[in-house]
Structure 1
Amino acid sequence: MKKTRIAAGFTLIELLVVLAIIATLMSIAAPRYFEHLDRSREASLRQTLSVVRDAIDRYHADIGKWPPDLDTLVTKRYLRKLPVDPITERSDSWQLVAAPGEEEAGVWDLHSGAEGTAKDGTHFAEW
């Protein structure tokens, strides 16, 4: 009796077809993924700006003057920690705006220090 040997595994053609299918799916999914990341960073930046501006306003309402810096908001417990700009991923890139027309100008507002524009065409530094 002859024993026949059964070949196990995949042929080169089968592997190439599978790789081509995976590459096609990745070329469709990757741009959507990166666009979603950009939109989520923008939404996070808007939320962070809103929270910090609210903390600045609460500090001013309680103390009667604007905070000298963002660290004061943390030490006085208006913020838990120094906010991180989601676009630049740094906490020291904020552009602080001084209170207009006051002798002891403190932090009245802040803007992102990120360069570039958002999906809606506005500059991050204008937010």
Structure 2
Amino acid sequence: MNSQQDKKNQRQQGFTLIELLIVMVILGLLVGLVGPRMFRKVEGARQKTAKAQIELLCTAIDTFRLDMRRLPKDLDELVTKIDDPNWEGPYLPKKVPLDPWGRPYVYKVPGDEGRDYDIISYGLDGTSGGEGENKDITSWESLEGGAEGKR
């Protein structure tokens, strides 16, 4: 009777050290294989979000330009009422968004290479240039079709 009770007590004590180590190794392998893929997807989503926000800002700027017959001096003019009867904003639903990395978009008037304006997010590193997750996202590269020519 003691041997049956001893086996029952052993089962109730929990996992052995070997079993725990095996589980930890399996979890480590899963994190090592799946983790990098998940991080790449997150970074790709941030870049897509930046492109979508830049398109939204370009639309707001173009609408402002139609109403005011000029470009905004800065992006805050898209949401802050100015003393002009032609202003029919706000041109953005809320405040001017930050880029997905938490920094303000760069708005240049006039833009480079003959463009009327440029909007830029400098990516993860926050500096000009870069590749992959550090790549700059710009208004002239984000927009497709014929509309981007003079933006």
**2:95 matches 1:81:** yes
Which residue of the partner structure matches residue 109 of structure 1?
A: 118
Contact persistence 1:60–1:66 (CA under 8 A): yes
In structure 2, the CA distance between the partners of 1:56 and 1:16, relative to structure 1 (3 Å rule), is same
% identical equivalent positions: 32
Please state how far the C-alpha of 1:44 moved relative to its aligned partner.
0.4
Q: Distance in 2 between matches of 1:11 and 1:61?
A: 73
Contact persistence 2:110–2:117 (CA under 8 A): yes
Which residue of the partner structure matches residue 51 of structure 1?
A: 56
Amino acid at match of 1:97: K
For structure 1, list consecutive stretches of 5 or more residues without a partner in the other structure.
101-106
Contact persistence 1:59–1:78 (CA under 8 A): yes
Q: Distance in 2 between matches of 1:59 and 1:38?
A: 31
Q: Distance in 1 between matches of 2:70 and 2:2?
A: 96
The structure 1 segments of at least 4 consecutive aligned residues displaced by more than 6 Å after TM superposition are none
TM-score (norm 1): 0.79
**2:48 matches 1:37:** no
Please state how far the C-alpha of 1:96 moved relative to its aligned partner.
1.7
SS in 1 for 2:22: helix
Contact persistence 1:111–1:125 (CA under 8 A): yes
Contact persistence 2:47–2:137 (CA under 8 A): no
For structure 2, list consecutive stretches of 5 or more residues without a partner in the other structure.
81-88, 142-151
Aligned-residue CA RMSD (Å): 2.4
Contact persistence 1:98–1:109 (CA under 8 A): yes
Which residue of the partner structure matches residue 108 of structure 2?
A: 97
Please state how far the C-alpha of 1:90 moved relative to its aligned partner.
2.0
**Alignment length, in residue pairs?**
117
SS in 2 for 1:83: coil
TM-score (norm 2): 0.68
SS in 2 for 1:46: helix
In structure 2, the CA distance between the partners of 1:68 and 1:60, relative to structure 1 (3 Å rule), is same
Query: 1:25-52 deviations in whole A, cap 9, x for unaligned?
Result: 1111100011001100010011011110
